[in-house]
Amino acid sequence: MTQTSAHANGLSEDGRRTAVWPTPARSESPIDYADRVGAWYVSRRSARSRKEHGLYLTPVAVAAHMAQRIEIEGPRLRVLDPAAGAGVLCCAVVEALASRAAKPCPVPLHVEIVAYEVDRGLLAPLRAVFAHLSGWARARGVIVAAQAAGGDFIAARAAELRANGELFAGEPSAAAFDVVIANPPYFKIAKTDPRALALRAVVHGQPNIYALFMALGAALLRQGGRFVFITPRSFASGPYFRKFRGVFFGMIQPTEVHVFRSRRDAFRRDDVLQENMVLFGVRRDSWQQAAHAARLLVTSSNGQDDVGRREECAVRMGVAIDLQSVDKVLRLPTCEDDEAVVRMVDAWPNDLAALGMNISTGPVVPFRAAKHIASAGSVPDMHVPLLWMNHVRPLRATWPLARHKPEYIERDHTGALLVPSRNYVLLRRFSAKEEPRRLVAAPYLAATLPTPMVGFENHLNYVHRPGGELTEDEAWGLATLYSSRLLDTYFRTVNGNTQVSATELRAMPLPAHETIIALGRRIRRTPDMVDAVDDHVLRLLAPGWIGGSALGVG
């Protein structure tokens, strides 16, 4: 049953208004009670407040999956949850342990929980959840001592570690934790934010706070301690998280990663559109010395409902993370074919720089160039074409489209915003995960538009040859390669964002120059180009992959 006060319709934004939270039913499990309390609390908070605190509830099925994978040693366990919310993850851990301790045991299991929650309005409901958890666990032979601490986790614990000289180096103290489990908040903070300054060893550019929670949580683990976080995938690649990955993977050996294929389903109750993953790891500072023998278990499900029916793929650690690289990108192939693609593409001899090419982002930012762009114009006398993402389709750049966006930009007074009209490869910078391809590329050929200059909007990337020009065969060959299932599969293992960054494309391996040219010549002679892309690419680069079967590569 649920009891609420007659006069309390909710909490004020600072949590000071009196309210009575739901009480537990006699037989209610702790995780279900915590979930109900969390839903009650969230319903009384504004969308703005929830966003400010990163208040997104961990679904019960996901929390149970996270807790069930934790391995323990001995009769005592210290657990840290740095962003506890209503305590769903803490309850999941205790319930998982209680299910294992169901048989009579001469020594009861003692679990100490330290939970931080920055939203002070949640502290009293969280303590009520812990009180119910303690009674429920005692009846099942597990002794729980749970502490709900208010305040900022990062500010409190970073200062403590720094005072002991242990921030990201040296042995953790005797008070280190056996398990850290979390669904941290995720939002960007300024690099001048005190939390970013406290953990500047992992900060580059504008940091996302969830990475600070991951780094500090890892630092508070004992050697051999277990790390379990559900986070966005964005930390796995890209330049902004490079420093973080270097420090984090210096402490944590990843053992398992669960990938949610749907960007909506994992947190659908909170209407969150985010590509998420659960990372399981072990604090083992010297693990990279023996990494050649390790494997990473990559599991996947569509969302929370089928997390118990996940698909599994054991991946070589050297495929998952190139530990010799400064980037330490985490790649997540979810099946054997994916792993074969990663190994094959990694072996290609080139990248854009090796081919004398580069990739840049379109310089036209519409709101900054508003006075120079127009819906109609005179090309090439007064204006030149302005191409946006919607002008680019697989293997086809079409201008104009006569749609609502302005497709013309002034020829004069905008020199820095324009590029010479030469042969390029255009790629969309953003894509929906559910689209058939994450990479959408097309050749832009100077001969098709009678204009000396052209404008590329900021949501496009373009491949070019500095001090020269791509040949038409090169442009067609690269566009075909980027449009293929092969490179799309590779890119999906690396990229966890909707953004297709120039940095990632710059680092992507490419085959021999002659192969790219041969691919361009073949596709140009093909009537149904888009339908023939995969056939041409596979025949040239992966002849063992027939009809989608396994790649015949070692």
Query: Is the same domain home to 220 and 74?
Result: yes
Query: Is the same domain home to 216 and 113?
Result: yes
Query: Is the same domain home to 239 and 368?
Result: no
Query: Is the same domain home to 272 and 369?
Result: no
**Which of 284, 302, 323 delimits the end of a domain?**
284
The whole-number pLDDT of residue 18 equals: 45
Task: Give the residue among 472, 469, 461 at the shortest CA–CA distance from 516.
Answer: 472
**Kind and range of the H or E element at 260?**
strand 252-260
What's the CA gap between 333 and 297, in Å, rounded? 10
Query: Is the same domain home to 274 and 365?
Result: no
Task: Establish if 138 belongs to a structural domain.
Answer: yes
Query: Is the same domain home to 278 and 416?
Result: no
The whole-number pLDDT of residue 412 equals: 86
The whole-number pLDDT of residue 134 equals: 97
What's the CA gap between 384 and 392, in Å, rounded? 17
Tell me the whole-structure pTM to 2 decimals. 0.86
Query: Is the same domain home to 379 and 472?
Result: yes
Task: Establish if 332 belongs to a structural domain.
Answer: no
Q: Where are the alpha helices (DSSP H) in 290-387?
A: 317-320, 336-346
Task: Establish if 534 belongs to a structural domain.
Answer: yes
What's the CA gap between 77 and 73, in Å, rounded? 8
When divided into structural domains, the chain yields a total of 2
Both tokens assigned to 281: 């790891």
**Which of 284, 319, 339 delimits the end of a domain?**
284
What's the CA gap between 369 and 388, in Å, rounded? 14
Task: Establish if 20 belongs to a structural domain.
Answer: no
Range(s) of the domain holding residue 528: 353-541
Query: Is the same domain home to 57 and 142?
Result: yes
Judged on CB neighbours under 10 Å (0-12, 13-18, 19+), 349 is exposed
Look up the CATH number of the domain holding residue 170.
Answer: 3.40.50.150
- Mean pLDDT in order along the chain per 10 residues (554 residues): 35 50 92 95 78 76 92 90 96 93 68 95 95 96 95 88 64 80 93 91 90 95 96 89 93 94 54 74 91 88 73 90 88 90 94 98 95 93 95 95 91 88 95 72 95 96 97 98 94 79 91 98 95 94 63 38
Task: Establish if 224 belongs to a structural domain.
Answer: yes
Query: Is the same domain home to 228 and 366?
Result: no
Task: Establish if 296 belongs to a structural domain.
Answer: no
Query: Is the same domain home to 398 and 512?
Result: yes
The whole-number pLDDT of residue 342 equals: 92
How many C-beta atoms surround the C-beta of residue 216 within 10 A? 25
Task: Establish if 402 belongs to a structural domain.
Answer: yes
Query: Is the same domain home to 368 and 233?
Result: no
The whole-number pLDDT of residue 504 equals: 87
Contacts of 484 (CB under 8 A, 6+ apart): 533, 534, 537
Whether omega for the bond prior to residue 436 falls within 30 degrees of 0, making it cis, is no
Task: Establish if 10 belongs to a structural domain.
Answer: no
Look up the CATH number of the domain holding residue 366.
Answer: 3.90.220.10
Both tokens assigned to 467: 């001090």
SS3 assignment, position 515: helix
The whole-number pLDDT of residue 6 equals: 29
Query: Is the same domain home to 280 and 357?
Result: no
Classify the phi-psi angles of 103: left when phi > 0, otherwise alpha if psi is within -120 to 50, otherwise beta: beta
**Which of 284, 299, 330 delimits the end of a domain?**
284
Classify the phi-psi angles of 203: left when phi > 0, otherwise alpha if psi is within -120 to 50, otherwise beta: beta
